């Protein structure tokens, strides 16, 4: 495992803030051309298929937010796809907003229902970064599920299924005692069904509709 992977896989490490702090990290780890997880997300060329990454650009200083933290300032569309610098884009979710677990779930659900799983993933990743140790895998898994839906809505079936499977595996550990009213059982059914649709023998080539395919994060009572 290289340092870039550790930054994503071990929440709370300082390296994750500096080198992988951009909330788009899970999206940028997946090659848009072949859908496979990239071993070197920062490189210009995918080592699996040789495709040039959409984020490639001449060397420049790392973008930083107003607090000086590493954060990609490149504009993005409604599904988080990078646009040229200076182009109009859809506003990103502000990073580091203090929210209770209930507020995080409510905001993420609103964005999912609006067909904005990329933005929902930013909220869930923010919750992951501040969650207690016992819940970090849960919030990371929820963020990965939102990224999986983002890739599926982009038309990247392989990448979408990969992140859906990872997210499902992470949240499944909480099935016996789901905190905050999160519908773990329902999310597992949703993730596995969508993953199967993306990669099964009758998989459709067209992207899925993000809003119509959005999951419910909590049980109906919540």
d(CA 168, CA 164): 6
What is the CATH classification number for the domain harbouring 159? 1.10.3450.10
- 153 part of a folded domain: yes
d(CA 23, CA 206): 26
- 163 part of a folded domain: yes
d(CA 62, CA 77): 21
d(CA 41, CA 34): 14
- 82 part of a folded domain: no
- 8 part of a folded domain: no
- 145 part of a folded domain: yes
Domain enclosing residue 193, as ranges: 101-213
Full pLDDT tens readout for the chain, 222 residues:
333 333 333 333 332 332 233 444 555 666 665 656 665 655 666 766 666 555 443 444 555 555 555 556 788 888 888 888 888 888 888 888 889 999 999 999 999 999 999 999 999 999 999 999 999 999 999 999 999 999 999 999 999 999 999 999 999 999 999 999 999 999 999 999 999 999 887 776 678 999 999 999 999 766
Domain count for the chain: 1
pTM summary value? 0.71
- 137 part of a folded domain: yes
CA proximity to 32, closest of 155, 187, 189: 155
């Amino acid at each position: 495992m290289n340092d870039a992977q550790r930054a994503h896989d071990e929440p709370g490490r300082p390296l994750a803030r500096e080198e992988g702090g951009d909330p788009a990290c899970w999206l940028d780890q997946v090659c848009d051309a072949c859908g496979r997880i990239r071993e070197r997300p920062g490189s210009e060329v995918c080592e699996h298929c040789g495709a040039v990454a959409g984020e490639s650009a001449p060397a420049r200083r790392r973008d930083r937010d107003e607090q000086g933290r590493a954060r990609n300032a490149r504009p993005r569309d409604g599904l988080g796809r990078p646009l040229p610098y200076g182009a109009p884009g859809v506003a990103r979710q502000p990073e580091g907003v203090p929210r209770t677990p209930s507020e995080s779930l409510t905001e993420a659900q609103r964005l999912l229902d609006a067909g904005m799983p990329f933005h929902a993933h930013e909220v869930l990743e923010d919750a992951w970064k501040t969650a207690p140790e016992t819940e970090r895998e849960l919030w990371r898994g929820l963020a990965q599920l939102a990224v999986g839906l983002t890739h599926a809505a982009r038309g990247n079936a392989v990448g979408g299924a990969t992140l859906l499977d990872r997210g499902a595996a992470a949240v499944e550990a909480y099935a016996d005692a789901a905190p905050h009213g999160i519908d773990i059982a329902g999310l597992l059914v949703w993730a596995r069904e969508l993953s199967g649709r993306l990669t099964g023998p009758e998989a459709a080539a067209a992207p899925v509709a993000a809003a119509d395919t959005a999951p419910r994060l909590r049980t109906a009572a919540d």
